[in-house]
Amino acid sequence: MNTSKQRKQRLFRGRRRGALTRTLPILMKSSGQRQPKPYLLSSKVFFPAWLVCLILGILLSIFARWLLLRLKITLVLPILAYPSLAALFTFLIWLIFFS
């Protein structure tokens, strides 16, 4: 009984090690490729474009909050709604300008 458990453990260990040795070189090769990163050139300084998208997304969510308050629309979970709006606006700006 004890030997069958040991045999199963050895088989399982061998399969796991084999899968790792097959996938690890593929992962290492694919992660080594460099892709161009979008940057904005401002006064001879490279500035990451995602940061601009994030700032604009936050500003648009603040504007959306102001608009919702002005229209007297209440949200059930504002702690989830406003960060989600900021993320939505950020991703939309990224897709529109940098995709």
State pLDDT tens for residues 5-43: 666 666 555 555 566 566 656 555 555 556 556 666 555
Counts for the chain of helices (H) and strands (E), in that order: 3, 2
Domain boundaries, the chain: 1-35, 37-99
Query: When comparing pLDDT for 89 and 42, which is higher?
Result: 89
- Can you give the pLDDT at residue 60? 97
pLDDT at 97: 86
Tens-digit pLDDT profile for residues 45-69: 567 888 999 999 999 999 999 999 9
pLDDT for the residue numbered 64: 96
